[in-house]
Structure 1
Amino acid sequence: MFVAKFFAAAVAGLNLLVAARTIPSEFQELQSRQNTQYQGYGFVYFTGEDLPNGEQIYFAVSQGNDPLHWNVINNGYAVLNATLGTKGVRDPFIIRSPQNDKFYLIATDLRFAAVNSWDVAGRKGSRSLAIWESPDLKTWSAQRLVEVSPPTAGMSWAPEAVYDAKAGHFIVFWASNLFAASDTNHTGTSYSRIMYANTTDFKTFTPAQVYIDTGSAVIDTSAIYDQATSTGTASAKQSGISCVQEKSSSFFGKWTTVTTGIGNAEIGQSEGPTCFLSNRYAGVYHLFIDDLSPRGYVPFETGNITSGVWKKSTNYALPTNPRHGTVFGITTKEMQNLSGL
């Protein structure tokens, strides 16, 4: 059996998958994200509803192979701007194609500044994902919207994905409030579950199904692979506004808690975790947690992800106001492509 770690935000946390010698097919792509060929990092994020044009797509490139110091792209202006749906996007995530010839960017279709109510956004929000794709991180397609959640869902928030090599498709997961089919106006009581659907091209998706239902709110799920113990790790936010870490023997297996309240002592309320392995230092993992105060992401790190013990990083300089996004390993050429935007 294999165990993975998972982060969810209690309304956020981290899940860990632990594997045997044979890595389950749905975690092979997670393992491939941790590659010594990567000479730096890309960072995709939004900057917040309180800032002008803050609910759009921003990029930064690491200074060399250092994930704690960054150069913003496009002079700090948005690189991709939503033209469809709500005309706002949040929580961007990037994944490579299995052929390594394309990047898919998926994000929440939400312009909160136009709604100004989390209750309304969770009941009558977009059921679609905002999607772009690129062959090189420099040339990007036009935006498209793809509806992934059923009519009973109130929204589709914070999407991420893994690639299942055996099945030959991506597993895309996101958070939705679900309402009774008879409650067409979504006025009843609900809480967010993690949904999932499969796709091969991010254009057509299988019907959404419930992936994680804890009986209380969970959003911002993210996954990573633990090389030392052949485990996978994920993060999310759960009721109580804090990040938790969990583990499981398979992607669709039972998740058990490793630790809760990650970062609470340092930053208080948090969400939107993104976790990644250091390109330079064996066994070192970085976890960026979105502080609900205006400062956005705060970096944490550990040399033993299985322990669930994280310490706040020191000597860091993140981009200005980075909110829920993704840090991903890139090659020297890809660093050059991103820097040229």
Structure 2
Amino acid sequence: MFKPKPIRFLPLLLGAALLASCSKDVYMFTSFHEPANEGLRLLYSHDGYKWTDLNRIFLAPQVGPSKLMRDPSISRGPDGTYHLVWTCGWKGDKGFGYASSKDLVHWSAQRFIDVMSQEPTTVNVWAPEIFYDAPTKQYLIIWASTIPFRFARGIEDEDNNHRLYYTTTQDFQTFTPAKLFIDPGFSSIDAVVVPRGPQDYVLVVKDNTRPNRNIKVAFGPTALGPFPNVSEPFTGNFTEGPSVLALPHKEWLIYYDAYKEKRYGVMKTSDFKTFTDVSAQTSVPQGHKHGTVFTVPAKTLKNLLRSAPAGTAATSTSGTHE
């Protein structure tokens, strides 16, 4: 009678599967807590839906008159270096904070990057968003500033009539002079550039006019646009801080802060034209305020977990997120 031989290579297969799962990239979400004086926080997720707070400060702000850290944005360069930019203060600043790291634990000296001193009436520099543009091999940094009496406005005050500006750099030592990124005809902040393919980029941006304060999209051929024909909003009013996460199979999640409702909303899309609300399928730790989503190797998360003080891992919560 035939007797099957034991499958001696099963442990090897299981080990290989485990190794493969451990080698996958992990989603990270930059974060801060109000009143934004503590510094950089990080959340992580294996699927892009359920988030866990590492529950510690990884970098305390030291630059800018107010020494705040709001809207932290990170981009990982081709050499593996993480570049961080952030809002330093509410008003009076003409630049943003910058630091870099190889592992998200140990950071370079912080620097204040002055980008708007050539415009002496600039009110603020808000929400710098950093993005590495592979075709041009440079980093693009976009932020919102108000220059009173420069642009037409609605019912906003002159010191709250924002437009989006940008600079580029290859080495974070020299930066191109600030230029207007887009004037969509309305006050706008919180811009995110999403690459989809050659000559195919999406701009996700907040319409900051009253009473709108909602999020819209536009499409362009390069990271610098042009981005004409901004869409109708795909979120309700009183929403801001979009963060775009790329899923497998050309799908995206767009996280946004529904700040009046004190929760995080999430839209899923495959074309940035039709959107499905998947907020109920997600969980975001309480207190999280908006940053950006990026990916890290699994070993980086392992190192981050080891660096956190014992017993400080926070569990995720669903429902009310702020």
* TM-score, reference length from structure 2: 0.76
Cα 1:38–1:148, aligned 2, differ >3 Å: closer, same or farther? farther
CA shift for structure 1 position 231: 2.8
Is 2:11 the partner of 1:45? no
Alignment partner of 2:233: what SS?
A: strand
Alignment partner of 2:177: what SS?
A: coil
Cα 1:262–1:48, aligned 2, differ >3 Å: closer, same or farther? farther
Match of 1:3 in 2: none
Match of 1:66 in 2: 47
Match of 2:216 in 1: 244
CA shift for structure 1 position 166: 5.2
Match of 2:228 in 1: 256
Match of 1:213 in 2: 183
Runs of 4+ in structure 1 off by over 6 angstroms are none
Asked if structure 2 preserves the Cα contact closer than 8 Å seen for 1:138 and 1:340, the reply is: no
Asked if structure 1 preserves the Cα contact closer than 8 Å seen for 2:194 and 2:202, the reply is: yes
Cα 1:38–1:174, aligned 2, differ >3 Å: closer, same or farther? farther
Alignment partner of 1:339: what SS?
A: helix
Alignment partner of 1:77: what SS?
A: coil
Q: How many aligned positions are there?
A: 273
Match of 1:204 among 168, 171, 174: 174
Who wins on radius of gyration, i.e. which is larger?
A: 2
Alignment partner of 2:285: what SS?
A: coil
CA distance, structure 1, for counterparts of residue 278 and residue 112 of structure 2: 37
CA shift for structure 1 position 225: 2.1
CA distance, structure 1, for counterparts of residue 135 and residue 250 of structure 2: 27
2:25 maps to a residue whose letter is Q
User: Identity, % of aligned pairs?
Assistant: 27
Cα 1:168–1:70, aligned 2, differ >3 Å: closer, same or farther? closer
CA shift for structure 1 position 194: 0.7
* TM-score, reference length from structure 1: 0.72
Asked if structure 2 preserves the Cα contact closer than 8 Å seen for 1:297 and 1:323, the reply is: no
CA shift for structure 1 position 322: 1.5
Q: What is the 5 A alignment of 1:52-131?
A: 56-62=39-45, 65-73=46-54, 76-85=55-64, 86-100=66-80, 102-110=81-89, 121=91, 125-131=92-98
Asked if structure 2 preserves the Cα contact closer than 8 Å seen for 1:295 and 1:321, the reply is: no
Please list every run of 5 or more consecutive structure 1 residues that lacks an aligned counterpart in the other structure: 1-36, 113-120, 182-186
Please list every run of 5 or more consecutive structure 2 residues that lacks an aligned counterpart in the other structure: 1-22, 151-156, 308-322
Asked if structure 1 preserves the Cα contact closer than 8 Å seen for 2:27 and 2:294, the reply is: yes
CA distance, structure 2, for counterparts of residue 179 and residue 259 of structure 1: 26
Asked if structure 1 preserves the Cα contact closer than 8 Å seen for 2:58 and 2:105, the reply is: no
Match of 1:9 in 2: none
CA shift for structure 1 position 106: 0.5
